[in-house]
Amino acid sequence: MRNIKYILKAAVIIGIALALVMPGAAAFANTKTLSKDGQTPTIKPLGRDGGWIEQASGFWEPSRGINYIHAVDENIVWASGYDGSGSQLPVQEFTKTTDGGDLWEADLISEAPNDGDLAMIIALDEDTAWVPIHSGDPQGIWKTSDGGSTWVHQTTAAFNGTGAFPNVVHFWNENDGWCQGDPVDGYYEMYTTTDGGDNWIRVSSEDIPAPLSGEMGTVGYYDVVGDTVWWGTQCPTSPGRIFKSTDKGNTWTVADTPFTSSGWVDVRMKDADNGLAMDKRLAGSYLAETSDGGETWTIVEPTGPFYGYDISYVPGTDNMWISTGAASGASGASYSLDGGHSWIDYSEVAGIQLLDCDFIEGTIGWAGSFSVDDETGGVWKYTAPDDPIPDLYTIGSLSWIDVKPGSTVTDDFRVKNVGDPGSMLDWEVTEWPDWGAWTFTPSSGEDLTPEDDYITVEVEVVAPDENEENFTGEVKVVNLEDPDDFEIIDVSLTTPRNKSFNIFLQFLSFLEQHPNLFPILRHLLGL
């Protein structure tokens, strides 16, 4: 009995000491750690200049934002301004560049009502543009033919009835145009023109599906492919709908979206069949796709950093999209190469508030931001790099507990290219621990593009023939084109303790889980 007491006393003393100096010593668990497929990994930033540069929008007021930007070509871009200071003051200002953004010149639409706001802007060239102006008196469509020096109110697009509110205007050429506003007299107020807007003719109610109760158009949100137009609605009693015309706005159909109630829908199309719609509230499910021209829409659950301010298809690409964000904690830009399903950050604009964006062929585009003064800030321009650079990224760690010496264990990690669009990654596992016998399947790969799925590397290890050991180390995966671009996979493997020591560890674990027993045992054992 005395011997047992001494053994217990020694165990308690050792247990107390270990609990004080090694509080985790008894916290062994028969688990392994590895990121699973169901989890959304944090995408590694590009880690290089991906082509974004800041430009000065020319707006002289601080915090002047850009609510709509239209790139005519690689040189000519127009944008409409709004008050981003939080005061929500009406703004009648626009800005324009004719040299790709090296110089932006902002100006005031002096002919506009001083209580009106610009909904958007659409241009044909450096001289001709139209804007819809809402909330002021009068409302309607204004046109410039001299590069913005003077503007003319096109009064035949009335927008003066009860509930009138112009949202968008579009021109296919110098003659054919269409504009859209909220419901007036029980149906949506839309007009078409064939003479540049000198004469607008209202679309008949018979050619437009009736609005739902409380339903309205969305300011500045629409898209056009060929003669086909799409635009979304916002509605407190429905998920929002998408209207479509295939004849330049003369006749219309409508389709439901799969969003939640009170939707606020923005639609953007890649071509006549394929496109994305976004619920701008950023609540619930907020991205959907179509492959039948907008007749039906299916929810998309994007992975990676998808931003909710604006989306834009990049013309001429297979399926590349850009998203921008200006929300607190969700500002920046990202791109998708698979039609919006997975997104990768542009690291050089991470945390920067980016607003409306527009892209042209050649992967050149602009995104609005907020000005500091007329010489600082307000626009960001993206130009695709001439030589797309790959960027290696891995997910996973390798950990095995209580492995019988000489036995074989398996696990895996994953490899991905998160580099520039169009880049190709050649990678290889170059280093691993010098204990055990290691096999990697595959151990290398070639031409991995950012749009490719993760490559899973199966790992097989024959454990060392030693008991009571804790083996650690690292697996190194390298971008073969850039030795400085590598990833480290942490590794650990433990072999069993002897039986008596395992019993002792279990006893220590028991004491750790029941700390109130220490005073009782100390009293019983006379410590």
The pLDDT tens digits of the residues spanning 335-372 come to 999 999 999 999 889 999 999 999 999 899 999 999 99
Cβ atoms within 10 Å, residue 296: 14
Cβ(384)–Cβ(364) under 8 Å? yes
Task: Point out the least confidently predicted range of 58-67, 217-226, 331-340, 380-389.
Answer: 380-389
CA distances from 45 to 99, 216, 305, 420 (A): 30, 39, 10, 11
Q: Give the HSE-up count for residue 125: Cα atoms under 13 Å, Cβ half-sphere.
A: 6
- Residue 74 has what pLDDT? 96
How far apart CA 368 and CA 14 sit, in angstroms, is: 66
Cβ(286)–Cβ(300) under 8 Å? no
E runs forming strands in 246-304: 253-256, 265-269, 275-279, 287-290, 298-299
Cβ(108)–Cβ(120) under 8 Å? no
Cβ(243)–Cβ(190) under 8 Å? no
- Residue 485 has what pLDDT? 95
Pairing of strands 216-225, 228-234: antiparallel
Task: Point out the least confidently predicted range of 60-74, 277-291, 473-487.
Answer: 277-291
What are the residue ranges spanned by the domains of the chain?
1-28+497-527, 31-44+391-496, 156-301
Long-range contacts of residues 27-33, Cβ cutoff 8 Å, at least 24 apart: 27/509, 27/512, 28/401, 28/402, 28/505, 28/509, 29/401, 30/401, 30/402, 31/401, 32/398, 32/399, 32/400, 32/401, 32/411, 33/397, 33/399
Residue 89, both tokens = 């003051």
**pLDDT at residue 125 tops 90:** yes
- Residue 511 has what pLDDT? 59
The CATH architecture one would assign to domain 31-44+391-496 is: Sandwich (2.60)
Collapsing DSSP states into helix, strand and coil, what is residue 220? strand
Cβ(388)–Cβ(353) under 8 Å? no
**pLDDT at residue 10 tops 50:** no
pLDDT digits (tens, 9 = 90+) for 406-465: 999 999 999 999 888 888 999 999 999 999 999 999 999 999 988 788 999 999 999 999
Cβ atoms within 10 Å, residue 137: 9
Q: Between residues 508 and 57, which one has the greater pLDDT?
A: 57
Percentage of the chain surpassing pLDDT 70? 84
Which positions ≥6 away from 386 have C-beta within 8 Å? Answer: none
Report the residue count for the chain.
527
Q: Between residues 35 and 121, which one has the greater pLDDT?
A: 121
How far apart CA 163 and CA 67 sit, in angstroms, is: 22
CA terminus-to-terminus distance, the chain: 17
- Secondary structure letter of residue 349 according to DSSP: G
pLDDT digits (tens, 9 = 90+) for 43-69: 333 334 458 999 999 999 999 999 999
Mean pLDDT of 180-198: 98
- On whether the 156-301 domain is CATH 3.40.50.720, my answer is no
Place of tokens 């054919």: 176
How far apart CA 289 and CA 221 sit, in angstroms, is: 16
- Secondary structure letter of residue 45 according to DSSP: P
Residue 472, both tokens = 């650690």
How far apart CA 106 and CA 23 sit, in angstroms, is: 65
The 3 state secondary structure assigned to 256-267 is ECCCCCCCEEEE
Q: Which among 268, 162, 274 is positioned nearest to 218, based on CA atoms?
A: 268
**pLDDT at residue 285 tops 70:** no
pLDDT digits (tens, 9 = 90+) for 229-242: 999 999 998 999 99
Write down the mean pLDDT value for the chain.
87
Chain centroid to Cα 437, Å, comes to 42
